Amino acid sequence: MRETRREFVKELSALAAVASVAPLAAARRLSAEETPPRKVGFALVGLGQLAGGQLAPAFQNTRRCRLSGLVSGSPEKARAWAEKYGVPQKNIYNYTDFDRIEDNADIDVVYVVLPNSMHAEYTIRAARAGKHVLCEKPMAVSVKECDEMIAACQAANRLLAIGYRLHFEPYNLEMARLAREKVFGSVKAIEGSAGFRIGDPTQWRLDKKRSGGGSLMDIGIYALQAARYISGEEPTSVTAQEGLTDPAKFRGVDESMLFSLKFPSGVMANCTSSYAAGANRFWAAAERGSFELSPALSYHGLHGRTVSPDGPKEMEFPDIDQFAAEMDDFADCILNGRKTRVPGEEGRRDLRIITAIYEAAASGKAIAL
């Protein structure tokens, strides 16, 4: 398992150069002699805030992807989106007739952007319809569902990737590289903070049946991911404490979570997630310096720096469209027959750890992994 993890982090860091120049490549005009690359058709399943604010616009910045299909429970919204993004009416589906997508050659990939409790169902249905699947994080609401999703895609010989956009973001890739290459010596400690003030109390994120959990599942997963790709290891045990200041609003889901991960090397990662306060920082201390991102997980405007005996130094990387880079990489996997760096197994690992964190918070004990 650890050997596989080291290989994964090595591959993750190797993406830095590619991710940082992807938007520039997308903007380059093809000359008359060049053949336009084949574009992979994506259908968005779920036309909510993320799909509308980030994903649909991101297709304009991709090299290998096109928005070819829409799946929504609102016919009016689907028609408006189709007109805006040039999607044929025949490529619009609802949740009842979704399985007809099997007969649509325009669509190669189903991108699942639904409440967490629906991820497994639509991933499995998409795989059975012969489509590759890109599923938003968290992968599912249980390890069992993750296993079912992986099995369905394997049985259909379709690729499954999880929407971990920061795996294609240059600043986060640099954090992984600095740790892996021991630029400042071995990593000794890690911190990760991820949070925002959640609004509408009626939204699905605060309904455990639909979300599977609260701040940890939704935003804390970024801090968990950072701890894993900075350490290059898998945790062996976790401890956790839950914070609750508004019981009426956060009934059944965690408002805030403080969790610690212990890794085989002895490194500890102390992480927080919150729906009550803004938090956006990854930090690592090494033998001869430290490195951090703040903000670390925003869609744009990330900032990083290192501190060593030579003094502080700013990281400088292009501000990219993270979702475009994520989708282009998946399209390249499909077109060139290579494995994705964010497979279902990666999402499953996170769900296994998250489950243990919730158990640790409930029991007050350290939980071995």
Annotated catalytic residue within 93, 111, 122, 137? 137
Query: 239 — phi, psi (to 5°)?
Result: -130, 155
137 as an active site residue: the answer is yes
Put the strands of the sheet holding 367-368 in their side by side order.
311-314, 304-308, 289-293, 279-286, 187-195, 268-274, 256-262, 237-243, 367-368
Q: For the chain, list the strands marked E by DSSP.
A: 40-45, 65-71, 92-93, 109-112, 132-135, 160-162, 187-195, 237-243, 256-262, 268-274, 279-286, 289-293, 304-308, 311-314, 367-368
Is residue 160 within 8 A of residue 132, CB to CB? The reply is: yes
Rounded to 10°, the helix 16-27/322-336 angle is: 100
For 10, other C-beta atoms within 10 Å of its C-beta total 14
Spatial CA neighbour of 329 closest among 64, 37, 59, 21: 64
For 35, other C-beta atoms within 10 Å of its C-beta total 6
188 as an active site residue: the answer is no
Tell me the longest C-alpha to C-alpha distance in the chain. 66
Residue type, 250: F
Token pair listed for 192:
């990760």
Q: For 148-220, list the strands marked E by DSSP.
A: 160-162, 187-195
Annotated catalytic residue within 93, 164, 222, 229? 222
Spatial CA neighbour of 172 closest among 72, 339, 364, 320: 320
Cis peptide, bond prior to residue 88, ω within 30 of zero? no
Catalytic residue ranges: 137, 222
